Structure 1
């Protein structure tokens, strides 16, 4: 194990690599075609119902922007579109969406650049986040700079079967502006003004210089109308927040409610993701491996059963882990609170105490954003059988991951590059 040298990863709790090989370096997503994602549906449409199930293929489209564009072209509210998983922007992606109350003919007539929507059936219920089998990835890393790329790829490919740290990737927090977890923290703390100011007025170094200037100017003047006039059209969510503040400068809660519900709910989820990353990195900093059971560790079995590691069962747990029957997991807390069973739970509680956040805050946030935050177990390792290849300075990777797992988390172990080279 070696620590990350990149401050951006460190800030997001992504602190360690499990492999100690030199990185391949290189660039991920030199073109969208270098990052292909195909969603594997959980089930086929039932054949009847008010929800039209469609296969959506897109190239280089941000997820929320794509959904709003499709809704606009259909003449409906974007709230009538649902999906099982969000997909990357700088990529070629295939996924399924459900659209309430539209006819197949209307969808078939859509003509949007780099977007294809094809009806595949109907269902009685909309799709919902997480209800998918997984995702297939076909990825090419370009312009690798390692002295022995083939050796690095071989070592990391073998290590992937054992497991990489199951971090939430950079996309979870915002690619150009990794601030979603900060907004979520403010929402949990009940500081809606700080949440709005972070989302609208916190300038980030990877942004366009003019956009940074506009954000900074708004922070200094609080002139919402001037900021709306100055911000580029593609920053529609910021403009939506500001439109409410232009009418009611003190209504920061109302401004947040102007955002799409799914985007609003993702802020709190991003904070939970940051908590998980932090606790996992603390464990790795102790030198404890991903499959090394420690008394108090939580276990998650394939059938959903949960258990705990004790001094008595540690040897048996090691056998189960080696045979893939269960995984060591970290509990991500929510409105139901959490028992303190081991060191990871203690660390989670410590971070929440430092931020002044309790289970009651998750309950209040759930009411505010309209989504329950009950807490959940997440495995600390992501494992995959990878097909890899090296051609001159390019590396190809093909693998499948369960829902909620990040391909960039796999790629970072191979590349060990600045996270900005992976966006």
Structure 2
């Protein structure tokens, strides 16, 4: 195990690598085709007909929320009529399914959006919702590695990935260019809506374009929506919607937040839950506990959703179950359920106590965002068979992950590079 030296990873709770080998360095996403993601759909559900048109979306260099908003705009419908199973990377070529409510194939065929294609594949009587996918298939090229002989490092990480890597939520969970979604989520939990708006609209980051940084800083310093609107670039549509609302309804910061798509708004709070998970996982690793070996008190997650607790007496049986993939060791991401919060590990409870966040805060956020935030168990270990090949000055990786697992979590083990080289 090796510690990450990068402040950004440590800020997001990603403090460790599973492997001790030196990183190969390199860069992800030099061009979008270096990072190809193909969604693996669930077996068809909901029948073969219905009001939902199912389409295969292929996009290049589009953030999903912006792509959905543009599709809705061109179809002249609310974005609430569009559903999807998973959020994909922006700087990549990605393929996934969308559901469109009461839209005809002819309307889809008439759409022409740069770097977006929609292919009608059927109908259903249910909308696609987050989690409605079997997994994702990745084909990734890491370019310009920083070692002359990467084969041994690649082999070591490939072997480790077949057993266990830390199942961290990756950088894109918190915002690739502006990694602050978890902080906005915390502000929403606290009911500090004015500061949440100020952070979303006004907090500038170094990787943004200069005109965006200038406009954000103007709002951060003045809190004047009219002044900032004159400077905000037109493509920053979410920020413009929020400031337009504030211009028409001064002081209504909760209403400004509700100008965001509901799924984006809910992602802020769930990003805070993800941050808590990353921190708890790093705490576990820091105490010397292995990813693939249970200790008494560990909660076990079985494939059918059942959970159990490891004991000293069951240690041998649990070890067999873990090695055969029948269950995983889990950590709890707290939410509005008091019972679930008590089931979480001690480090998470201590962190929440330090922050002054309780189940009541999650319940209030649930009402505000109209999302349950019940809390959930998540496996601490990611494991996958990886097809890795050294190609000139690069390394190509091909692998499959379940829903909610991050390809960048795999890539960081190989690269051990500054996270900005992965965005």
Deviation (angstroms), 1:44: 2.4
- 2:371 aligns with 371
Give CA-to-partner distance per residue, 1:282-328, whole Å, 9 cap, x none. Answer: 11111211012122111001221100111221222122112211110
Deviation (angstroms), 1:218: 1.3
| CA distance in 2: counterparts of 1:237 and 1:109, whole angstroms | 26
- 1:239 aligns with 240
- 2:391 aligns with 391
Q: Secondary structure at the match of 1:233?
A: coil
- 1:27 aligns with 27
| CA distance in 2: counterparts of 1:347 and 1:194, whole angstroms | 27
Deviation (angstroms), 1:339: 5.2
The within-5 A match list for 1:145-184 is: 145-184=146-185
Contact 2:211 2:233 (C-alpha < 8 Å) held by counterparts? no
Structure-2 change in CA distance of 1:339 and 1:255 (3 Å): closer
Deviation (angstroms), 1:212: 2.0
- 1:281 aligns with 282
Deviation (angstroms), 1:194: 1.4
Q: Give TM-score, length-normalised by structure 2.
A: 0.97
- 1:324 aligns with 325
Alpha-carbon RMSD across the aligned residues, in angstroms, is: 1.3
The within-5 A match list for 1:3-402 is: 3-44=3-44, 46-338=47-339, 345-402=345-402
Deviation (angstroms), 1:10: 0.4
Structure-2 change in CA distance of 1:294 and 1:231 (3 Å): same
Of 93-102 and 232-241, deviating more is: 232-241
| CA distance in 2: counterparts of 1:273 and 1:340, whole angstroms | 14
Deviation (angstroms), 1:208: 2.1
Give CA-to-partner distance per residue, 1:105-126, whole Å, 9 cap, x none. Answer: 1101211111110111111110
| CA distance in 2: counterparts of 1:181 and 1:267, whole angstroms | 6
Give CA-to-partner distance per residue, 1:310-358, whole Å, 9 cap, x none. Answer: 122122212211221111010111111245778x611111111112111
Give CA-to-partner distance per residue, 1:48-73, whole Å, 9 cap, x none. Answer: 11110000011111111111111111
Q: Secondary structure at the match of 1:27?
A: coil
| CA distance in 1: counterparts of 2:340 and 2:28, whole angstroms | 40
Contact 1:22 1:146 (C-alpha < 8 Å) held by counterparts? no
Contact 2:202 2:216 (C-alpha < 8 Å) held by counterparts? yes
Contact 2:332 2:377 (C-alpha < 8 Å) held by counterparts? yes
Contact 2:198 2:223 (C-alpha < 8 Å) held by counterparts? no
Give CA-to-partner distance per residue, 1:6-31, whole Å, 9 cap, x none. Answer: 00000000110000111110001111
| CA distance in 2: counterparts of 1:296 and 1:222, whole angstroms | 49
Contact 1:332 1:375 (C-alpha < 8 Å) held by counterparts? yes
Q: Secondary structure at the match of 2:24?
A: coil
Of 41-50 and 229-238, deviating more is: 41-50
Give CA-to-partner distance per residue, 1:382-406, whole Å, 9 cap, x none. Answer: 1100111001211010000000000
Contact 1:37 1:135 (C-alpha < 8 Å) held by counterparts? yes
Deviation (angstroms), 1:202: 1.4
Structure-2 change in CA distance of 1:339 and 1:123 (3 Å): closer
| CA distance in 1: counterparts of 2:85 and 2:97, whole angstroms | 7
Of 81-90 and 283-292, deviating more is: 283-292
| CA distance in 1: counterparts of 2:167 and 2:223, whole angstroms | 40
| CA distance in 1: counterparts of 2:39 and 2:231, whole angstroms | 38
How many residue pairs get aligned? The number is 422
Contact 1:48 1:121 (C-alpha < 8 Å) held by counterparts? yes
Contact 1:337 1:375 (C-alpha < 8 Å) held by counterparts? no
Q: Secondary structure at the match of 2:328?
A: strand
Q: Secondary structure at the match of 1:132?
A: coil
Structure 1: 5+ residue stretches without partners: none
Q: Secondary structure at the match of 2:345?
A: helix
| CA distance in 2: counterparts of 1:114 and 1:203, whole angstroms | 27
| CA distance in 1: counterparts of 2:156 and 2:142, whole angstroms | 16
Contact 1:38 1:137 (C-alpha < 8 Å) held by counterparts? yes
